[in-house]
Amino acid sequence: MTGVPRLLPATALARLLARALARAGAPSPASIGLFLAHDRELARLNREAMGKRGATDVLSFPLLPPAAFSSRAGAVATAGPLAVGAGEALPPAAPFVLPPGARPHLGDIVVSVERAAAQARSGRGGQENRSRWEPADELRLLVVHGALHLCGWDHAAPKEGAAMRALERELLGAGGRTPCPA
């Protein structure tokens, strides 16, 4: 997007994404879209996709269901097939077949660079929204967070949330700095 500050080189973001996808159990090779945007774009997407007002820092738009990925630590188990009607159930999904040599597209991640910088500088960054650190570090966290969501990871349930946060720390610790408390 035009006018979005460049906090990190594209190659650094690509390496970080590749590492996150590998650790999250994504098929390889695969493709994803990473869009760096302004708050204005995230507010529009948040309204249209999530029905929420205002900007957010990162949105993920997965194209595959969580079951398409290897099992996740702390994942909440789903019970049986999806119910369709009274006593009916969906048949197991047939595997999606791609043309030879094609990479599956896992989905898209959209990050507000504007919000990442503001959160980092104000002490509202990091996993617990209480860290002051460099805007580039906040961007790295949001990219990793979005990638894990693409792979079916979530933080709504405490056990899965703890596993997701631990994996984020592991991925950010591999060549990154840890936040300093605000």
- Tell me what pLDDT residue 80 has: 32
Minimal CA–CA distance to 58: which of 159, 155, 179? Answer: 155
Assess if residue 139 is contained within a domain.
Answer: yes
pLDDT at 11 over 50: yes
Assess if residue 141 is contained within a domain.
Answer: yes
pLDDT digit string (tens) for 117-149?
999 888 766 666 656 788 999 999 999 999 999
Give helix 135-150 / helix 10-23 axis angle, nearest 10°.
40
Assess if residue 39 is contained within a domain.
Answer: yes
Torsion of CA 78, 81, 83, 86, to 10 degrees: -130
Assess if residue 130 is contained within a domain.
Answer: yes
Stated pTM of the model: 0.79
Q: How many domains is the chain partitioned into structurally?
A: 1
Assess if residue 128 is contained within a domain.
Answer: yes
Percentage of the chain exceeding pLDDT 90: 42
How many Å apart are CA 131 and CA 164, to the nearest integer?
18
> Integer distance in angstroms from the first to the last C-alpha of the chain?
30
Assess if residue 142 is contained within a domain.
Answer: yes
At 57, which CATH number?
A: 3.40.390.30
| Strand extents, DSSP E, 8-158 | 31-37, 58-62, 83-85, 88-89, 105-112, 131-132
How many Å apart are CA 32 and CA 16, to the nearest integer?
13
Assess if residue 182 is contained within a domain.
Answer: no
Other beta carbons within 10 angstroms of residue 13's beta carbon come to 17
pLDDT digit string (tens) for 80-89?
333 333 344 4
Percentage of the chain exceeding pLDDT 70: 75
Averaged pLDDT, 90-114: 77
Range of the domain at 134: 10-66+104-176
- Tell me what pLDDT residue 65 has: 85
Assess if residue 172 is contained within a domain.
Answer: yes
